[in-house]
């Protein structure tokens, strides 16, 4: 454009003219139109009649040429005020009865714009993308708004406005194309997304977007974009993509080298100047300040709409930079609605894209809260579009997540395997390139997805993964407990954007309305309290009314801005045509991503009217001005949604459900609407809801399935369907909400008539009672149900009897109530028979007499692993424990059980395995592994949310394992926790015994004795000290208190019982204790203990016995020293600090040094050994981690540690 001097006329925006810096008053609307008509004619002569036509149409004034002439002469005077009348004719020349403008090409912005675009085309062809970009940037900067903005729809202006607008769109595309050629691919993606959203039917934009994605190494996203384009074109226009897009698709698939940019990015000059100058729709590009250091593009740039967010952006930048360097983090953006959390998230995503990281996003929404793993699917589905990649990503440990993305026939039993699979999916993606998972409105994500977030957040260590989420504060959410787990995790970083300052508010007002007067600003700041959303809505309203930001209009700010955001939105909505209200309501009901035909149908309007209303709503900033359709903010949606009366809303959801069904929506999508629709007893609705529940259950999203089924029940479901719904619901609820499950299973039990159905239900009910109801209920129910069964259902009855007895034991009921009568005889080899056998094996073990029979029953119960199929961790655990107490070798039973847990995805099974395998490892002296198992169990138990029965067992065992390791501090901390929960029943006894053992280690004999007294006896008595150690503890306490004779007597009694039982590892322990208490005369007991223990796997007990014998002064060196050396070695392997130190000391006393340091080296756990073994076979970190169900971080740390140790 020409310099400052000379006349300039501008039509790219509102028509105006300047002479140098001074704006020229062009007069009234018609007079100005004359100039516009002449400019549009580009110097051609326009007859006066034609001008008059333009000005007045058919409504011509009397003296047409006179009127036109008078306008022209006024214009001439204004355009050239100083000229003599004749010379004034220079600018608007008269020619016959017409006029023409005489202006140089650079005096009119539109002319100059076209020239620049033309020149840019030449530069581009000449292979000068830099020059082309500069020219196009300059060209686009000429635009100040829609061309001839005061004359939209004027017949004389319409065609030219359309032509210029099209040219502008082309220029924007060419600019981005030029920048793409300069290697800015990753940076351009957001801008191209916005450009596509602006005009989604322009194929060139899609082409550029796909190209940019591809060049940014986002091939899957590129293909996804192509698919989006294809769907859109087909839905909107019913056509296929044109040849350019089709060719591109083939090239992307073939990874054609032709897709590379013409220039290598390294050769392109600094990027920032051009970027900063580009006018762009939201999200705006970072405008790098001139002072930005080279090589750090945009790193310090603050996007113009982000004010008062320096600290927050700093944290986000650091997190993204750390991730680029491989560090993981969970970063939560927390704050009240409207404070700008989503905006910060978008900025984080943009920064991540700049760093060439993979970014996956999801957004929680209230309507879709029931979509099982809905947020997870949003996150990962875009990466799973490509079939080959999908195969690759969903293999190995990630395979168990397959059900989340494909609906499989087999329902997942729980969410553990799925979570684990998803974890591996994320890990796999992160191993390709650092990964950002960005979740907006975490509080509205479905429960299953939230579980995944919690699961993942605990295992981020070692993954190059940044988990970013926004969380709304100030209100209660359905999954507050899960959210709290994320929020309270000490490793979670939290960003809390605060309200805008006065200065920040001023900045935003200035951008929208111009420099505000202080009073105006005060009103803006006071009414919005610094909430950016409120401010944006307010400024939008003020801008629409063209309010000047002066002091006089401060009251207007008070008037508009004092409203709550909902009311502000509704105020604007009321001023729009009725169609807009209908369309807004339809979008609010249909939810995000609704398509135009659905919206039209919901609002009862034709599509053209609907589209116009959508545009109105976008202009009013109620809807987002981009695809897919959605509200600018959830609060806005909420306002519109709540404005519809609730009964109407319910009907609207019913209609929406029908609509979604007709349009081939999934059962889940239909179901989401039915959840909010009125209940009508409609069988079809029951069916859809049940189907939705099955889908959710198959994905492992039990909570969602439960929600659908509860609604199906309320429809109400009738007859057989009701029974089915009740059964499915009850069984699912047992996984997530025991009491509710019982209620529904109970109702089903009442409703069922078939004895087989009733038997199956009774077992499920009794089983659930065991874990959720007060003592006595399970047992009584099972007893009644067993009695009610017809005679021929033998096996089912055995199952119920087994439940009756085992719950009697577990709940500490009086044996007279559940053991009365003759002992049942196991009949056949069905599941019930095995359950009964397991129970009886345990009862026999507790009696402590017939070890062989107990083992026989337990082996029968466990044979062929059949109980795994019907029982997630009650009877087979009981049977296995019976065998452990009997020293019967379980072989690889626990490994099989663990594999079963993972295969079935049962969290309950997994935690049961961890508890009892931990006990097994503890008995074997594998202390580090045992502790790891117990800790894992406690974590899983918290996730499962059970009744806490298993928890007290785990805490008790953990105290014991810590004591054995010699870590008394950890033992004390765990003991405190365990006692604080005041556990009852068998678990309570175990806790008190464990703490008593700790007291003994602390030398608090009286305290230990008191605890043993308080613990009481086991339900089945203390007949088997292999399970009930009260005598040993009592004896040790008495000995400590100096009451030796009593102690010896008690311990002798224990040894006698253990001899009767006959399990050598327990007997050896008893003998060793007896020997220690007896003192000098006890040597024989100690010798026997060593001998009895020798063939067992109880390594730590062996070490103790060897030490006890070896330190005795009555034992000669030649016998003692090898014993002590053996004790030292065993204690070292076990990681038992105290025993190790004692044995070392005893050796030293006999003048024998221990090789190496007397400090216990860090124990090499079985796990570490397994890692090293697998790594030795050439497997990578990921493979090893997947096989062992560990995180890559753990594996990597173990390998590094081993390497360091080897070098040392």
What is the contact surface with another protein in residues (CB under 8 A)?
A: 25, 27-30, 150, 517, 519, 522-523, 526-527, 529, 545-548, 550-556, 558-560, 562-564, 566-568, 570-571, 574
Closest CB to another protein among 122 and 571?
A: 571
The Cα-based distances of 1011 to 138, 960, 979, 1015, 1019 in angstroms read 85, 15, 11, 6, 17
CB burial of residue 1003 (10 Å; 0-12, 13-18, 19+): exposed
Closest to another protein by CB, 562 or 819 = 562
Separation in Å, CA 1126 to CA 1118, 1140, 1150? 13, 10, 15
Taking the CA atoms of residue 869, residue 871, residue 876 and residue 878 in that order, the dihedral angle to the nearest 10 degrees is -170
d(CA 563, CA 1114): 92
Q: In angstroms, how far is CA 753 from the centroid of its own chain?
A: 43
**Cα three-residue angle 166-171-175, rounded to 5 degrees:** 155
Output 66 or 1095, the one with its CB closest to another protein: 66
Place of tokens 């390791």: 965
The C-alpha angle 761, 764, 766, rounded to 5 degrees, equals 105
* Burial class, 776, CB count within 10 angstroms (exposed 0-12 / middle 13-18 / buried 19+): middle
Question: Measured from the CB of residue 616, what is the shortest distance to another protein in angstroms?
Answer: 17
Least separation in angstroms between residue 545's CB and another protein is 4
Decide if 867 contacts 838 (C-beta within 8 A). Answer: yes
Look up tokens 């600290």; give the residue.
Answer: 311
CB of 569 to another protein, least distance (A): 9
Closest separation in Å from C-beta 70 to another protein: 12
Question: Given the complex with another protein, which of 106 and 550 has the nearer CB atom?
Answer: 550
Residue placing its CB nearer to another protein in the complex, 27 or 946: 27
Q: Which is nearer to another protein, 213 or 533 (CB)?
A: 533
Least Å distance, CB 527 to another protein, is 6
Spatial contact of 74 and 27, defined as CB atoms under 8 Å apart:
yes
Shortest Cβ distance from residue 558 to another protein (Å)? Answer: 5
Smaller CB separation from another protein, 556 or 1087: 556
Residues near 209 by beta carbon (within 8 Å), at least 6 away in sequence: 189, 192, 193, 195, 196, 225
CB of 407 to another protein, least distance (A): 45
Cβ-based burial of 434 (10 A; exposed 0-12, middle 13-18, buried ≥19): buried
Least distance from another protein to the Cβ atom of residue 549, Å = 11
Nearer to another protein, 30 or 1125 (CB): 30
Q: State in angstroms the smallest separation of the CB of 103 from another protein.
A: 24
Residue with Cβ nearer another protein (70 or 234): 70
Complex with another protein: residue 54 or 705, whichever CB lies closer = 54
Nearer residue to another protein within complex by CB, 51 or 1171: 51
């309320």: which residue's tokens? Answer: 714
- Cβ neighbors of 812 (< 8 A, separation 6 or more) are 775, 984, 985, 986, 1019
CB of 21 to another protein, least distance (A): 19
Residues 493/315, Cβ–Cβ less than 8 Å = yes
Instruction: Please give the Cα distance from 348 to 436 (Å, whole number).
Output: 9
What single DSSP character describes residue 1156? S
Give me the least distance between CB of 587 and another protein, in Å please. Answer: 21
Integer-rounded Cα radius of gyration of the chain:
39
Facing residues of 358 across strands?
Answer: 435
CB of 530 to another protein, least distance (A): 11
3-state secondary structure 778-841: HHHHHHHHHHHCCCCCHHHHHHHHHHHHHHHHHCCCCHHHHCCCCCCCCCCCCHHHHHHHHHHH
Closest CB to another protein among residues 528, 1051:
528
Distance in Å, CB of 19 to another protein, minimum:
17
Closest distance between another protein and the C-beta of residue 33, in Å? 11
Nearer to another protein, 201 or 564 (CB): 564
Sheet harboring 22-24: ordered strands across? 7-10, 16-19, 22-24
Q: Determine the Cα–Cα distance for residues 84 and 72; give it in Å rounded to an integer.
A: 15
Nearer to another protein, 532 or 549 (CB): 549
The dihedrals phi and psi of 82, each to the nearest 5 degrees, come to: -85, -20
Q: Which of 374, 332, 335, 299 is nearest to 460 (CA)?
A: 332
* Helix or strand holding residue 437 (H, E): strand 435-440
């Amino acid at each position: 454009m020409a310099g400052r001097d000379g006349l300039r006329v501008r039509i790219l925006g509102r028509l105006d003219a300047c002479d140098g810096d001074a704006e020229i008053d062009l007069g009234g609307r018609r007079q100005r139109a004359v100039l516009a008509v002449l400019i549009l004619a580009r110097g051609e002569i326009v007859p006066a009649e034609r001008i008059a036509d333009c000005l007045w149409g058919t409504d011509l004034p009397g003296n047409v040429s006179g009127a036109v002439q008078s306008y022209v002469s006024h214009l001439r005077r204004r355009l050239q005020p100083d000229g003599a009348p004749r010379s004034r004719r220079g600018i608007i020349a008269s020619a016959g009865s017409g006029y023409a403008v005489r202006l140089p090409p650079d005096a009119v912005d539109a002319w100059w714009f076209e020239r620049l675009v033309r020149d840019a085309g030449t530069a581009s062809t000449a292979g000068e993308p830099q020059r082309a970009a500069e020219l196009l940037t300059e060209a686009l900067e000429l635009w100040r708004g829609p061309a001839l903005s005061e004359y939209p729809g004027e017949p004389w202006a319409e065609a030219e406005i359309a032509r210029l607008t099209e040219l502008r769109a082309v220029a924007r595309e060419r600019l981005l194309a030029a920048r793409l050629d300069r290697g800015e691919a990753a940076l351009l993606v957001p801008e191209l997304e916005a450009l596509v959203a602006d005009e989604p039917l322009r194929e060139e934009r899609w082409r550029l977007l796909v190209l940019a994605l591809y060049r940014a190494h986002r091939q899957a996203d590129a293909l996804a974009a192509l698919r989006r384009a294809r769907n859109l074109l087909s839905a909107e226009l019913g056509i296929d993509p044109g040849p350019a897009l089709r060719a591109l698709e083939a090239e992307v698939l073939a990874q054609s080298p032709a897709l590379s940019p013409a220039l290598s990015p390294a050769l392109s000059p600094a990027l920032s100047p051009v970027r900063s100058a580009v006018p762009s729709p939201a999200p705006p590009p970072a405008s790098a300040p001139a002072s930005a250091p080279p090589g750090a593009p945009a790193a310090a740039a603050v996007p113009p709409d982000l004010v008062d967010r320096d600290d927050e952006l700093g944290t986000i930048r650091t997190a993204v930079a750390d991730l680029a360097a491989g560090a993981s983090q969970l970063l939560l953006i927390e704050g009240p609605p409207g404070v700008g959390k989503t905006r910060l998230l978008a900025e984080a995503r943009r920064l991540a894209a700049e760093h060439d990281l993979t970014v996956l996003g999801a957004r929680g929404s209230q309507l879709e809260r029931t979509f099982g793993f809905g947020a997870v699917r949003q996150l990962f589905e875009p990466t799973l579009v490509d079939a080959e990649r999908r195969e690759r990503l969903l293999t190995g440990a990630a395979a168990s997540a397959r059900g989340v993305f494909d609906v499989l026939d087999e329902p997942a039993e729980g969410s553990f395997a799925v979570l684990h699979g998803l974890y591996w999916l994320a890990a796999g993606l992160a191993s390709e390139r650092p990964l950002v998972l960005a979740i907006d409105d975490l509080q509205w994500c479905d429960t299953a997805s939230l579980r995944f977030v919690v699961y993942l957040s605990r295992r981020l260590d070692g993954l190059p993964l940044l988990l970013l989420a926004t969380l709304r504060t100030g209100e209660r959410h359905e999954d507050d407990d899960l959210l709290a787990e994320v929020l309270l995790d000490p490793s979670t970083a939290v960003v809390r954007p605060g309200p805008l300052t006065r200065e920040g508010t001023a900045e935003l007002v200035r951008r929208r309305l111009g420099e505000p007067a202080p009073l105006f600003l005060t009103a803006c700041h006071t009414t919005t309290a610094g909430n950016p959303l409120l401010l944006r809505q307010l400024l939008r309203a003020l801008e629409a009314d063209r309010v000047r930001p002066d002091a006089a209009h401060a009251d207007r700010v008070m008037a508009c801005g004092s409203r709550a955001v909902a009311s502000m939105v509704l105020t604007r909505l009321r001023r729009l045509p009725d169609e807009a209200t209908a369309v807004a309501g339809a979008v609010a009901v249909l939810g995000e991503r609704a398509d135009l035909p659905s919206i039209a149908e919901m609002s009862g309007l034709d599509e053209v009217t609907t589209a116009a209303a959508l545009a109105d709503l976008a202009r009013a900033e109620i809807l987002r001005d981009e695809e897919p359709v959605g509200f600018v903010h959830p609060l806005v949606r909420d306002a519109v949604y709540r404005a519809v009366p609730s009964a109407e809303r319910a009907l609207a959801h019913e209609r929406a459900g029908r609509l979604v069904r007709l349009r081939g929506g999934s059962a889940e999508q239909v179901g989401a609407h039915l959840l909010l629709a009125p209940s009508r007893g409609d069988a079809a609705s029951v069916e859809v809801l049940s189907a939705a529940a099955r889908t959710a259950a198959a994905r492992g999203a039990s909570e969602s399935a439960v929600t659908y089924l509860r609604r199906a029940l309320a429809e109400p479901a009738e007859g057989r369907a009701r029974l089915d719904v009740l059964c499915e619901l009850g069984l699912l609820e047992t996984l997530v909400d025991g009491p509710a499950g019982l209620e529904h299973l109970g109702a089903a039990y009442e409703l069922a008539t078939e004895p087989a159905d009733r038997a199956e239900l009774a077992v499920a009910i009794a089983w659930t009672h065991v874990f959720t109801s007060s003592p006595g209920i399970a047992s009584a129910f099972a007893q009644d149900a067993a009695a009610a069964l017809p005679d021929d259902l033998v096996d089912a009855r055995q199952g119920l009897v087994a439940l009756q007895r085992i719950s009697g034991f577990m709940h500490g009921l009086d044996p007279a109530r559940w053991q009365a009568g003759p002992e049942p005889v196991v009949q056949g080899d069905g599941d019930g028979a095995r359950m009964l056998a397991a129970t009886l094996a345990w009862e026999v073990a507790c009696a402590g007499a017939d070890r062989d029979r107990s083992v026989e029953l337990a082996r029968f119960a466990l044979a062929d692993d059949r109980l795994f199929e019907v029982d997630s961790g009650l009877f087979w655990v009981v049977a296995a424990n019976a065998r452990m107490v009997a020293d019967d070798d379980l072989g690889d039973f626990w490994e099989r059980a663990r594999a079963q847990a993972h295969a079935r995805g049962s969290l309950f099974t997994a935690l049961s395995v961890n508890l009892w395998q931990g006990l097994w490892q503890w008995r074997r002296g594998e202390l580090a592994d045992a502790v790891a198992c117990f800790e894992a169990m406690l974590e899983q138990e918290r996730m499962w949310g059970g009744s806490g029965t298993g928890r007290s067992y785990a805490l008790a065992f953990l105290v014991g394992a810590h004591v054995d390791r010699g870590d008394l501090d950890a033992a004390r901390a765990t003991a405190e926790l365990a006692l604080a929960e005041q556990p009852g029943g068998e678990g309570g006894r175990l806790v008190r015994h464990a703490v008593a053992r700790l007291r003994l280690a602390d030398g608090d004999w009286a305290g230990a004795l008191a605890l043993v007294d308080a613990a009481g006896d086991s339900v089945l008595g203390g007949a088997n000290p292999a399970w009930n150690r009260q005598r040993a503890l009592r004896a040790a306490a008495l000995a400590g208190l100096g009451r030796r004779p009593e102690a010896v007597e008690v311990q002798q009694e224990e040894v006698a019982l253990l001899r009767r039982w006959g399990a050598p590892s327990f007997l050896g322990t008893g003998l060793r204790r007896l020997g220690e208490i007896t003192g000098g005369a006890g040597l024989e007991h100690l010798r026997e203990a060593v001998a009895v223990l020798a063939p067992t796997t109880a390594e730590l007990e062996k070490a103790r016995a060897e030490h006890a014998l070896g330190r005795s002064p009555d034992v000669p060196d030649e016998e003692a020293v090898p014993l002590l050396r053996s004790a030292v070695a065993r204690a070292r392997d076990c990681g038992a600090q105290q025993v190790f130190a004692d044995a070392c000391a005893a050796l030293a006393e006999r003048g024998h040094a221990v090789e190496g340091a007397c400090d216990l080296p860090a124990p090499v756990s079985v796990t570490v050994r397994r890692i090293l073994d697998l790594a030795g076979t050439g497997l990578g970190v990921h493979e090893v981690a997947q096989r062992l169900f560990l995180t890559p971080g753990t594996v990597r740390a173990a390998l590094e540690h081993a390497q360091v140790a080897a070098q040392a």
